[in-house]
Chain A
Amino acid sequence: MRPSTEFSSQVRLQVMRQVIETGRVPRSEETALALGRTPAEVGAAHRLLAEAHVFVLEPGTSELRMAPPFSAIPTPFEVQVGERKWWGNCIWDAMGIGAALHAEARISSRCPDCGHAISITVNGPTVSGDSGVVHFAVPAAQWWDDIIYT
């Protein structure tokens, strides 16, 4: 049965709460336990949210690969707010973690061309630290054709 929009919204918020609290994107069992539902129901909500381009699934599963701006797996975009750390899916999302939390966030990455470490700090819409430039390889209309590559 297709989950309700209301339940999917609850799942979205629970995932966000948990990733903020624990530093990692939860599996469906954890969200099910927190909401008093079954993992299958949460998995169905994950699929609905992925169809709506809100979340991204690990290919071939109903588990989350991305709960933007957070990544379920380590990436080259480590984000630190105070003592807490997360992974961003890309540099846009890494900056978005600070924005979502309304907190100053330090981002540690490496230049994909030369491997040089780059450290920047975002605070609201402002940025400081090392110099750099952000490159979007894929045109906007094609971002969701393969969002993991994008």
Chain B
Amino acid sequence: MLLFRSEEHVQSSCRARSLPIGGMLSLNQSAELAWIWFNDRLDPAWRRKTLDEAEAIFAGLGLKGDFWRLRP
């Protein structure tokens, strides 16, 4: 998961490496995702999120569709 200056730079990088464009998030979406994902990480009772929980978090941030599906 990399940080680019803009969508144009993502497109340029993917083109140069002959890679398809994957999923793109705004910085606000990313910061919200990081907060939800990691804010309890130092809690002694922390446990890994289930697939259902993770997919619900993605959906809540508007990350829907095949790219964000966690089950193969």
Contacts and interface: CB of A to CB of B under 8 A. Distances in A.
Interface centre among A54, A99, A107 (most CB of B within 10 A): A99
Interface residues of B, number: 45
Contacts of B16: 113
Q: Tell me the interface secondary structure of chain A in the complex.
A: mixed
Given A92-B33, A120-B27, A133 B72 contact: no
Contacts of B25: 133-134, 136
B10 to A, nearest CB: 5
Given A69-B41, A112-B13, A131 B58 contact: no
B22 A136 contact: yes
Contact of B5 (A97, A113, A137): A113
B3 A134 contact: yes
B24 A125 contact: no
B13 A53 contact: no
B67 A140 contact: yes
A99 B38 contact: yes
Contacts of B24: 133-136
Interface string B32-72: 11111111011010001000000000100000001111111
A60 interface: no
Nearest to B35: A125
Contacts of A131: 5-6, 27
Given A53-B48, A90-B2, 16 more contacts: A20-B42, A52-B48, A91-B2, A92-B30, A100-B41, A111-B3, A122-B35, A131-B5, A133-B5, A134-B30, A135-B2, A135-B14, A135-B22, A137-B1, A140-B68, A142-B72
